[in-house]
Every structure is written in structure tokens, then in C-alpha cells.
Chains A and B, each alone.
Chain A
């Protein structure tokens, strides 16, 4: 049996480290705990973003409403998007990936466990920084999540809001890029023997693609925000037309990141669906290779379509046509996935668990969102639809009907693995149908509203323009959606205490995470599994069937590593300390360069890094 050596804390701060209790969460470097931290935190931010959405819908329920003043409304819709995208949806996907992917690939942890912890703490503290912008002293960002110049210049955005935007998003970017590098190295390097890339679960595939997207897309946004920072703080004119700058430079830099970002948001959910569907259809995914490589194709093509967000800026016919062509082209690999999912369902013996409902709901809702996307890819049509509620409908069908539904499927699917208990199926069905009905009531009418000409990002509208009835319907739908989310929370909390024990394999799963206890032990596997196919756990459970598919009879499924030592970093404070340093530094920059905070931040960060490096040397 392998002996595991846990390295102890070394370096400048020799503080005692807890193994249990809440302080142990502060120092954990275990991927499962970090995954739980991500999931819990992202859920809380999701609720915050959802409340902001309800505020929006309250304001827009009737014409000429005065529930929210215009400048408050601008902050609300801007933060709704920023929170949902950067603090809820992306981290939830990372949370699932953190918990599940290392186990799925037969590893004991991520490649860089301390860096993993850093990513989480930077996310949490960055998120807190962001939320604090709502304090009346500051003012939240209010220029939309895409923050078009020159509205974001000092003379038009006086409050500290855009400072929070610039600094806060860069802080979150650090967390994302570090996490992405971690996943790339983990997935490519730490797979169990026999698990070639073409035998890897599709959720791991999508996590890999998403990680590459993050690594290559975030930098242009980093630079865009740095340039905006200089415009606001130093008086440069990068995006200020009055000073010779070009506001479109912001748009291009932003969307060069922004478009891959939406694929970063959807691909993990597609990966989850690709896991859930085969399990509950009781047959393997149809066309595994196509599903995997179409994900790669989407990632790659995602870099070639960004200016379809800019059809109304006068790019010229050649640019318009080129981006229209690439945008329509990207529908092909997407369609391939959809047909493969349908092929997976076809002829399967379907078990309509809640997870399955959400997965099927994902496909249906995503198709609708995809179709509206195709129309938006056509410049002449887009010229009417852009900046109208048609786009709001599109983005919510793909981001809520798509990503959120997919994440919900993941929640119901993996909750038993994470907690050892099953969620209530009864409550789950209520949750699904309430959310499904509420969602469609809210967003389907928006297609019509957009075509009728209702612009986006307006705090109110005049009566009698044809917008009144459907806005009211949408607002009612939003509250039904809210009720659905509430049911989800109730289910989560109830099941945590009262859910029936799940055992290690409640769904008769095929992938390796189902082969370990629920919840899994600290280092996942007693012995490293050996993999012979895409369904390693089915092979272990049903060796006769496995033999028919080419797995050799009597082949060992476990690697017995006598005398081999596994070196894993133990719990440590340093990632948290470095994150605090970054937090202080960020505050110093937000407050228009407050040098004491900046110096404090750099000092704390340096201490943390010193300890970290010493610990690495001691490993």
C-alpha cells in the first residue's frame, strides 16, 4: 500500500494548523473541500444576483415605474450581470470541476493544491470587494457589464464604481487564470494509467477546453481594464475620443475576451449534461468523439467571432460578412453536440430523476437560445435586434436555460457524492417544474418585446408602446423562478440533514467518482485505479460485460504501489495570506491609489509568498 507523506507547514510563519473545525477550512488545500467552498460561495452570490434580478423585474413590471431611481437601476443591472457571470456561474462550474474532475481521472488531488486554495481565497475576497461597491460611500459599477467607453471615463462615471470594476475583475481574473493553469496540468498529467484523453469523461474534457479558453482569453480583458485604469487615474485617453482615443478599441479588446467568456460559461454545463444523460439513459454517450472534439472546435472558433457583438458600430461590409460567417459556423459543432445528446436519449431506458429533467431541459432551452443566436449572427437582422430585449432573451436562454439548468443537473447528480445523502426527488420535481415554467414565462416574451423595439438597459418605458402586458408577465415569471430557486435551497438544506444515505453509487454510474465512498476519503483512492475503457467503473462492476467490450479477463483494476510514497502538501495558511495581501492591494488601488494600503498589501503578499516558497522547498 502507498504511504502518504503530508508535508507540514514551514517558513516564516510556523503557525499550528488545524485538521478539523472551521479553521481547518481556512488552511485546506484539498480539492474536495475547496470545491465545496466554491459551490457554497457561488450559491450565495447566485442568490444575491437573483435578488438584483427581481429588483429589475419589479421596476419593469409596469410602465413609468419609480421603484428604482435611474442611477440605482444602472447599478442593479450592471451588478446583476457581473455577479452572475463572475461570482456565481463561473465559480460554480469551477466548484464542480474541483470536486469531481480529480476523482474522475483517478488522481489524488490537483497538480498544484496550494495554488488551488489561492484561487478560491482570491475569488472570495475579490467577490467581497466587489459587493462592497454597493455601499453608499462608493457606488457600484453602473455602465453595464461590458462597460463601453467613453461612458466609463471619469467625467461621465464619477463614482468609484468603475474603479471597483477595473480592480475587482482583475483580482477575479488572477483566480481564474491560476485555476485554469491548475486544471490544464492536472488533466493532462495526472490521469490514471490507461486513461488516455479519448477515454476521459466528457466533463473533464470540457473543463480542459474551458481552462485553455481562460488562459488565452482573459489577458485581452486584463489589458483593456488596465488601459481604462490609466484613463481614469492618470489622464490618458486610450478610450476617450476627446483626446484622440478610440472607444472601439475598448469594444474589440473586451469582446475578444467576452466572446470566449460565454463559451467558458456554457461548456462546463455541456460537460455535465454529457455525464448525466448517459447515466440516466442507461447507455453510453452517443458519439463520444464528436462530443469531445466539437467542444474543442467551439473553443477554437470562439476566438473568431467576437465582433458579432459590434455589428452596429460600422465595421464595414467585409468585417461584417466575415464575422457573420464565423458566427454561423460555430453553430455547426454546437448542433453536433445537440444531435449526439438526442442520440444518447434515443433508445435508452430513461430514468427521469431531477438531474435528468434538468439535463433534458438544458437541451430544449439551449436549442431555443441557439436559434435566437443564429438570427443575431446575421448583421442585417442584428441591426434591429441588437440592444433590444431580443438579446436579453437570447442570453438568458443560453445562460440560464443553458448554464444554470446544467449546473442544477450537476447539483442533483453529484450532491450524493459530495454529502453522502440523496436530495429529495419530490422537492426536486417541484423545483424543476416551478423553475422551468417561471423561466419560460420570464424570458420567452422578451423575444417579442425585442422585436417590438423595447431597448435594453432602460430603467423604465412609456405606456402604450406595446410593452406593458409582456413586461408584467415577465415580472410575474421572474418571481415564479425565484420560488423555484427557493425550493432548491430548501431541498439542499433539508437533504443535508434528512436525505437518505446515498452509498457510493446511487445512480449506477460508469465513471470513477462513483467507485469511491460518498463523501470520498481524503486522498480519494486507496490504490490508483487502472482504466481500460471510457466506462471504468462499469468495467469494475460488470466484468463479464466489460470482457465483451475488450477488457481482458483477469486484468487488475487497481495498482498496488508497495513502497511508493505519495507526496501531497499539507494544510497551510499561506494561500490565504497571499490572498489577503492581494485584497489589501486591490483596496489601495480602488481608493484612487491609497499608498498605505498598497504597501500593506504588497508586504502581506510578500510574507505569504515567502512562506509558500519555503514550504515548496521543504516538500
Chain B
């Protein structure tokens, strides 16, 4: 609240000690609300993918074209990037700008590796004959993973802009909310991949 810190000491003035919204940064609040909304975006896409995963040409179903070991590697990469992201935040909370930049670059780098790996996997799947328009499995798979990949891409750009801002002294141990919010977005994108990896890749129907 704008002026809660300055409430006069009159005994009658109510001080909302039990107001749960006190002291919450408005931008963090906005980001969490946005992430709540994003749950529905990916929920709808995942639902569509689950509904249509059986609709494929013979021999070109999820079990046939999806490379679990490779995708597991990508999953590890993304999880690792969440670690580096939270280490970046911890660094700037200590006031360590160098470590912040290093960990941010590491996160962006891992994100880029993920994207590269996705691009590689997609090209192989397309090569085998599964495309956006070849079957409903292809359509829903690529739409879902494409949306996720776009989110990762935007995240990488965001992280790089954080690095740029940090180089000009934009963050310090008292002012790091921008890094925290970028981190929340990044971790969310990771969580979505955790769900996609399990539901779409690992739980793909056999045969």
C-alpha cells in the first residue's frame, strides 16, 4: 500500500496487520497473476494434444517418432537452467553483480541449448513424415511444443536484456525485483516442460 508505512499513531487508526497483501511488490503480484493465466493456455494445448495423440498415420505415432532419451537430456538441460536462474537471483540478493551476470548467461545459454535440441528433434520428426498438417498428432504436438519453445525463446531474450541492464548497474542487493520476475517466468516455462515431458512424451500410448 502506498502510505502504510506512515500511518499516524492515533489509537483509532486501523492498522491492517492481518492484510495479506501488505508488502507484496506489485510487479511480482502482476507476474503471478499472469502465470495463473498461462496455466490455462498450456492446459488447453496439453488437453488438445492428449485428445489427438492417437490420430496419426500407421507407424508415425508418438511412440514411433519421439526420442525419449534425447528429450530426457533436454529436460535435464532445462532443469539445470532453473538451478542457474535461482543461483543468479541468490547472487544479486547478496549484491554479487558478476555472479548474477554469469549465472544469467549460463541460464540463457542452457535455454538456447534446449531450443537447439528442440529444433534438431523437430527436424528429425518432420523428416520421418510427421508435420503440422500430416496428422492431428503432428498438429497438436507441434502446436504445443512450438508454443512452449516460443516462450523459451522470449525468456532467453528477456534474460539477455537482464544481463544488459545489470552491466549498467541496473540491479543491486536492494533492487533485484526485475531478476526475480524474469526468474519466475523462466521457472514456469520449466514447470510446463516437466508436465509436457511426462504427459506427452513418457505417457504416449504404445503401439
Contact = CB atoms under 8 A, between A and B. Distances in A.
Interface stretch (B10-18, B59-67, B121-129, B185-193): B10-18
Interface in B4-46: 4, 6-8, 10-16, 19, 21, 24, 26, 29-30, 33-34, 36-38, 40-41, 43-45
A617 B170 contact: yes
Contacts of B130: none
A559 B29 contact: no
A182 B26 CA distance: 10
Contacts of A222: 41, 44
A230 B33 contact: no
B26 A249 contact: no
A243 to B, nearest CB: 7
Contact of A193 (B13, B40, B41, B135): B13
B33 A181 contact: yes
A184 B13 contact: no
Nearest to B170: A617
B44 A234 contact: no
Nearest to B24: A189
Nearest to A217: B40
A461 to B, nearest CB: 38
Contacts of B72: none
Interface string A103-142: 0000110011000000000000000000000000000000
B33 A223 contact: no
A190 B33 contact: no
B25 to A, nearest CB: 9
Contacts of B161: 613
A555 B37 contact: no
Contact of A216 (B15, B37, B133): B37
A157 to B, nearest CB: 19
Contacts of A249: 48, 51
Contacts of B4: 193
Given A244-B136, A530-B13, A223 B45 contact: yes
B133 A234 contact: yes
B40 to A, nearest CB: 4
Given A194-B14, A223-B44, A556-B13, A188 B8 contact: no
Interface string A38-52: 000000000000000
Contacts of B38: 219
A226 interface: yes
Interface in A570-619: 613, 617
A235 B40 CA distance: 25
B3 A196 contact: no
A432 interface: no
Contacts of A559: 3, 6-8
B132 A617 contact: no
A243 B135 CA distance: 8
Contacts, number: 129
Nearest to B147: A226
Contacts of B15: 193
B6 A561 contact: yes
Contact of B14 (A180, A193, A528): A193
Contacts of B40: 216-220
A455 interface: no
B139 interface: yes
Contacts of A180: 33
A287 interface: no
A566 interface: yes
Contacts of B21: 188-189
B101 interface: no
B98 interface: no
A180 B40 CA distance: 15
A184 B33 contact: yes
Interface in A142-182: 177, 180-182
A366 interface: no
Interface in A202-223: 215-220, 222-223
B60 to A, nearest CB: 13
A463 interface: no
A564 interface: yes
A376 interface: no
A104 to B, nearest CB: 15
Contacts of B37: 177, 181, 215-216, 218-219
B1 A253 contact: no
A552 B12 contact: yes
A188 B24 CA distance: 10
B82 interface: no
B48 A223 contact: yes
Contact of A230 (B2, B12, B29, B132): B132
A218 B33 CA distance: 13
Contacts of A111: 26, 30
B136 A238 contact: yes
Given A181-B33, A235-B133, A189 B41 contact: no
Contacts of A453: none
A227 B48 contact: yes
Contact of B139 (A191, A238, A552, A554): A238
A190 B16 CA distance: 13
Interface string B124-157: 0000000011011001100100000000000000
B29 to A, nearest CB: 5
Nearest to B28: A185
Given A220-B44, A555-B10, A237 B139 contact: yes
A246 B51 contact: yes
Interface string B167-178: 000100000000
B30 A560 contact: no
Nearest to B31: A181
A503 interface: no
- Between B26, B29, B40, B136, the greatest number of chain A beta carbons within 10 A of the residue's beta carbon is seen for B40
A236 interface: yes
Interface in A265-313: none
Contacts of B16: 193-194, 196
Nearest to B140: A238
B136 A237 contact: yes
Q: Please provide the 10 A-B residue pairs with the shortest distance between their CB atoms, ordered closest to farther.
A: A219-B40, A552-B12, A223-B44, A555-B12, A236-B139, A235-B133, A219-B41, A194-B14, A215-B37, A220-B44
14 contacts: A111-B26, A180-B33, A185-B26, A190-B2, A191-B1, A219-B37, A220-B40, A223-B48, A224-B44, A236-B143, A237-B133, A245-B136, A552-B12, A556-B13
Interface of A: 107-108, 111-112, 177, 180-182, 184-185, 188-191, 193-194, 196, 215-220, 222-224, 226-227, 230, 234-238, 243-246, 249, 253, 528, 530, 532, 552, 554-556, 559-561, 564, 566, 613, 617
Given A238-B139, A253-B44, A559-B7, 14 more contacts: A181-B33, A185-B29, A190-B1, A193-B3, A219-B43, A224-B44, A227-B48, A230-B132, A234-B133, A235-B133, A237-B136, A244-B136, A245-B52, A617-B170
